[in-house]
Amino acid sequence: MGVAGHARGPAPMTADALLPVVADADAAGSGRKADPAPACVIEIDGRLYVAGLAWRSHLDMAVRLKSAATAGARRAGAKRMVLRERARQYGVPPVSLPPGAAARSAWSLAAVLADSIHGTWVGAWRLPDGRFIVIVVGPSGILPDGDRVFEDETAARDHVETVTASTSWRHLYVPVEWGLAEAKPVPLERLLQQARALSKAGQLQCVESGIGRLPAAAGLAVLLAAGGALWWTTRSPAVVSLPRPAVQPATPSVSLSWTPAAAGFGACLDAYVRDGRLRLLPGWPVSEYRCDPGLATIGLRMEGPVWLLRAAVPDAAIDAMAGTAAIQRPYAAPPPSSWPAGTRLGARADYAAYLRDALERVGGTASLDGIAAPLPGAASVQPASAGPAPALRLKWTVSAAVTSSYLLSVLHPLLAGEMTSAVYTPSSGQWTIQGVLHVDE
């Protein structure tokens, strides 16, 4: 993991540096350019993340978010920007990316995490050089001062205490020693592993685009490397690669590979939508929709003539005695993702906590490795049994009568694992999803 940034302390967050959330945040500025807030570039698992962006909201639906972001970035003199379509927000790096980093793809750290972690949350993480990154995400998105880099722990802690003093937050990913109630520190690397499996959002894009605007990628890299010393200033962050923690597996291991449940569930839903005509077949209501990897099965209840189903779906398997029918439709399963040997996968206790939190919102039932997660208001929970050595495989099940999109947002940590099956019952609106988690302990 590498870090980079300014040598000076954080500049004050004035209204000109980070504008408040208004209908058109760009229109709220005075036109005076304030000193940029400190920023840093972090390299984790070969990917560059930028922290310390200036975030603005654009709620005018008559103007495309990308158009507003482009105009705002040009006024700030920025060459990169990142869009958050779901929150109608855009972020602009307050400094230029360093030579080499500017020629590579980079992601906004705050945007990647905000798009994958459901609800409101505050996170603070220490960098190897002693600085802290603090990210704050509210109900409407990343706060205007919610993407900050602090030179020391005292400044970061003061900022977090100010933010949390008058507002409650669903998640507090802050150090336990800070003394905040409900603090649940989670390593930044672990959250990013989950986020990368769920979303491709958060990538910085060039403000200027089009043929003739920029040289080819290879030429751009050469020009940046050759001319970097001419425009390099102390305001530009540098990327410093630090050695990764050594991993000592008990036995030789190979890279892990599986299809993240989020991708599998999405393909399952697409297959269901494509067969929408079957849900309208007179006399044959859908009793169950089931997804196994690469295969969708639609169960029908016989309330009409058999000939009608035969005419509509000749390959339907009809059981006249039971009064049911089944239609199978293969679909293209998403390709698996790979994680190198030694990747930190998360702890059993963390996932159990995620399940408990999810049940508070969906009101369903769940289990992890055969251990029932407590329902809201339950007095206690059965302790988890000690498992074998690292790289455990834990079975999980979640059942809830909620929409598929809401279930996806609630279960985001679990959906980084595998999905073995998903069953939807239209009569009750119930989803039952089963999967496998890979954990370290």
**pLDDT tens digit sequence for 231-254:** 223 334 545 333 344 444 444 444
Q: Rounded to an integer, what distance in angstroms lies between the CA atom of residue 127 and that of residue 109?
A: 13
| Helix%, strand%, coil% for the chain, nearest 5 | 25, 30, 45
What are the residue ranges spanned by the domains of the chain?
25-231, 249-441
**pLDDT tens digit sequence for 66-100:** 888 898 888 888 888 888 887 888 998 877 766 65
Answer whether 0.75 is exceeded by the pTM: no
Q: How confident is the model at residue 168 (pLDDT cuts 50, 70, 90)?
A: confident
Q: What is the pLDDT, as a whole number, of residue 6?
A: 39
8 Å CB contact between 333 and 294: yes
Q: What is the pLDDT, as a whole number, of residue 257?
A: 73
8 Å CB contact between 38 and 127: no
Q: What is the pLDDT, as a whole number, of residue 150?
A: 92
148-157, 214-223, 281-290: which range is least confident on average? 214-223
Beta strands in 245-362 (DSSP E): 256-258, 286-292, 295-301, 317-319, 324-330, 337-339
How high is the mean pLDDT of the chain? 71
The pLDDT > 90 percentage for the chain reads: 8
**pLDDT tens digit sequence for 94-124:** 777 666 566 567 888 999 998 888 778 999 9
**Block residue for tokens 């990142």:** 82
| Most confidently modeled range among 145-149, 168-172, 290-294 | 145-149
Q: Rounded to an integer, what distance in angstroms lies between the CA atom of residue 373 and that of residue 362?
A: 13
Write the CB contacts of 163 (distance below 8 Å, at least 6 apart in sequence). 122, 136, 143
